[in-house]
Structure 1
Amino acid sequence: MTDDDTAEDRYGPVPPAVRTVYGPDDLGSVPAFRGGFINFGCWDGIPLDGPLTAEDRERSERQLYRRVLDALGGGGRRGPDGDGRGRAVEVGCGLGVGCALALREYPYESVTGVDVHPDQVDRARRANAALLAAVPERLRLVRGAAERLPCGAGEFDHLYSVEAAQHFRDVGAFARECARVLRPGGRTAVASFFVPGDEERPGAARALAERLDSFASGLDVARPLGALTGALAAAGLVDVRAESIGESVWPGLDRYLEEIGPPAAWPRNFLGAYRDGLLDYYLVTAARPA
C-alpha cells in the first residue's frame, strides 16, 4: 500500500474523474468558472438579453452562495457593526472563496471548509492566506470527505454545500454526517443538480452520459432528487424541503457559455437536459430536531 493509498483510506476515496478535474485540470482556473467559486451561478437580476461580462459571471456565482446561506436563516447578513454568532461548515469548499464570503457577509463566529481533494485544500489555503493570517480562529480549511467529516458531534449550527453533492458517492453517509455534526436545531442547505423525482431513472442516466462529458466520465452522478431528500429524512432530519431553482441557473449559464465560445461548448447541453426533464437544479434544506 502506498502513502497515497493510506491517505485515501483515511479521508475516503477520491473517484478518478474527481481527482483529475480538481487536481491537474484545476477546474477553478477554467474561464467558465472565473472568480474561484466553481458553480453554475444564480442569474436572477442579471439581464440575459444582451452581452454578459466576466463581472456578471462572478456576480452569479456569489448570488448562488447567498441564496444558499440565506436559506439557512440564523440572523441574516452581517451589518457593519454586526456581532458574529454561530458556527458553519461548508462541505466541498473548493477554493474556499465561499467560506470567505460567508465570513464577510453573514454573522458567523467561524466557518470550516472541508474538501476531499488535497490540491483544492492547498489552493484554498493559498487563496485565503491573508484571511487565515488575520483571523485564524474564524476560518479553518481541512481535508475530509462528505461521508466522513473531520468534525465533532454537534459542532456546527449550520452545514451547507454548494454544487458538490453531484460528486458524492454515498448520500446516505453524507446525510448521517449532517445529522451528526449539527447541534440540535441546526440547519443544512445543499444546492446541486439532480434527476427530478424519487426513483432511479436508468434512461435519464444514459441520456445524460450521452449529452454531457461530466456524467460520461463519472465526475457527476445521475442521482434522483429523492435519494438526497430521503436520506436526510432517514438520518433523522426534519422539515426536509426541495426547491427547484433551475430557471435561475440554466438559462443564464447557457447564455454565458455562448458568450465565451467553443472551448466551453459541451456544457451547453445542461440547458437542453433541463428543458427535456432529465435534470434540474435544487436547493434542499433540512434541520436537526431541537
Structure 2
Amino acid sequence: MTGDDEVAVVDGVPSRVRAVYGPDDLSSVPSFGGGFINFGHWDGIPPDPERPLTVDDRVRSERDLYRRVLGALAGGRPRGRAVEVGCGLGLGCALALEEYAFDAVTGVDIHPDQLARARRANAELLAASPDRLCFARGAAERLPLPDAGFDHLYSVEAAQHFRDLRAFAREGARVLRPGGRVAVASFFVPDDREDAADELARRLDSFASGLDVAHPLPELTGALAEAGLVEVRAESLGESVWPGFDRFLAGVDLPVSWPRNFLGAYRDGLLDYYLVTATRPPAA
C-alpha cells in the first residue's frame, strides 16, 4: 500500500479522499459523465471503432455496471432491504429502487459533501418515498447500521478507497441477515505480487496520492471468508471495463494523461476489475 501510512486522516476521511470527493467534486469531471463515479461496464457499446463514444454511451456504461452488480444479488431477483457502501451521489441507490424490487435502500458514504449532494440529487425520491430511501454517514469499516438489518449489501467502485478490508468484511457479515448477499465491484491487484503497489503508484496518480489503495484480490476474498461468509467468488470484468473506458477517454479533453494508463496496467497484469460475491450462511 504505497504511501498509505503518509495519508493524513481527518474526521475519519483520508486527506486525498476528502479533497477529491469534496471541493474537487469528482462527479463533475468529464470522464465521469452523468454524476455516476465508476469506470463503467461497456458490453454492447457501438462496435464501430471510428465512432467516438458519447456522454450518453458513458452514462449507459455507468448504469450498466450497477445493473451487473445488482443482478448478482439473489440471482437477479433481489428483494428486501439493501445497503450501498460508498454510495456517492446516490444515483445507484435510485437505480436500485427504480429497476429492482427492493423494499428499501440505504446509502452510506464517509464524505459529508457527497451525502449533501446525494440528498439534493434525490430530493424528489426522498420526498416521495421517505420509507424506501435514506442516506447515512459512516465508514465501510464501521457501518452505522443495526445487526442483521439487511438482505443485501453492495458496493460499486468504492472498495479501492477502503483502508481495512477485513473490518469491512466483518461489518458486512454483521449487518446482513442469514442468507443475505454481498456484491462488491472494484479494481484490485490480481494476486500478491510484491511490486504491484510501487508500479501502480508510478503509472497512476490515484495510487501515488493515496486516493486508491493497491489491495490484492485475495485480501478481500480471504477477509470475506474469515468473516464467516460462504460461496465467495470473484469474476473478472476487466475486458468489459478497461477497453471501453479507455476508448471513451480517447475522445475527452483530459487535463492529465495518466488515466489512460489504467488500460496498460490491466494489460500488464498489475490491475483487474472484479465482481466479488459472497453469502451469509442461512440460519441453522
Query: Does residue 21 of structure 2 align to residue 29 of structure 1?
Result: no
For 1:55-66, what aligned pairs fall within 5 Å after superposition?
Answer: 55-66=56-67
Aligned with 2:196 (options 192, 197, 204): 204
Secondary structure (helix, strand or coil) at the match of 1:73 reads: helix
- Of 29-38 and 92-101, deviating more is 29-38
Residue deviations 1:199-246 (CA, integer Å, cap 9, x gap): 2x3311111001100000000001100000000000000000000000
Question: CA 1:71/1:264 → structure 2, altered by over 3 Å: closer, same or farther?
Answer: farther
Aligned equivalents of 1:262, 1:226: Cα separation in 2: 33
Aligned with 1:175 (options 166, 169, 183): 169
Query: Does residue 47 of structure 2 align to residue 45 of structure 1?
Result: no
8 Å contact kept, 1:90–1:161: yes
Structure 2 gaps of 5+ residues are: 1-9
Q: Which residue of 2 aligns with 1:112?
A: 106
Secondary structure (helix, strand or coil) at the match of 2:183 reads: strand
Aligned equivalents of 2:109, 2:146: Cα separation in 1: 16
Q: Which residue of 2 aligns with 1:68?
A: 69
Query: Does residue 152 of structure 2 align to residue 153 of structure 1?
Result: no
Secondary structure (helix, strand or coil) at the match of 1:219 reads: coil
Q: Which residue of 1 aligns with 2:237?
A: 245
Q: CA deviation at 1:168?
A: 0.2
Q: CA deviation at 1:155?
A: 0.4
Aligned equivalents of 2:186, 2:217: Cα separation in 1: 10
Query: Does residue 284 of structure 2 align to residue 288 of structure 1?
Result: no
For 1:73-222, what aligned pairs fall within 5 Å after superposition?
Answer: 73=74, 76=77, 85-197=79-191, 199=192, 201-222=193-214
Aligned equivalents of 2:76, 2:33: Cα separation in 1: 30
Q: CA deviation at 1:87?
A: 0.3
Q: Percent identity?
A: 75
Q: Which residue of 1 aligns with 2:5?
A: none
Aligned equivalents of 1:27, 1:202: Cα separation in 2: 30
Question: What letter matches 2:260 in structure 1?
Answer: R
8 Å contact kept, 1:146–1:168: yes
Q: CA deviation at 1:98?
A: 0.2
Aligned equivalents of 1:155, 1:219: Cα separation in 2: 30
8 Å contact kept, 1:258–1:265: no
Question: What letter matches 1:95 in structure 2?
Answer: L
Question: What letter matches 2:251 in structure 1?
Answer: E
Segments ≥4 residues shifted beyond 6 Å: none
Question: What letter matches 2:84 in structure 1?
Answer: E
Secondary structure (helix, strand or coil) at the match of 1:41 reads: coil
Secondary structure (helix, strand or coil) at the match of 1:262 reads: coil
Q: CA deviation at 1:261?
A: 2.5
Aligned equivalents of 1:249, 1:162: Cα separation in 2: 13
8 Å contact kept, 1:112–1:142: yes
Q: Which residue of 2 aligns with 1:18?
A: 17
Q: CA deviation at 1:75?
A: 5.7
Aligned residues: 273
Question: What letter matches 1:125 in structure 2?
Answer: R
Question: CA 1:192/1:75 → structure 2, altered by over 3 Å: closer, same or farther?
Answer: closer
8 Å contact kept, 1:75–1:107: no
Residue deviations 1:140-191 (CA, integer Å, cap 9, x gap): 0110000000110000000000000000000000000010000000000000
Aligned equivalents of 2:83, 2:25: Cα separation in 1: 23
8 Å contact kept, 2:70–2:76: no
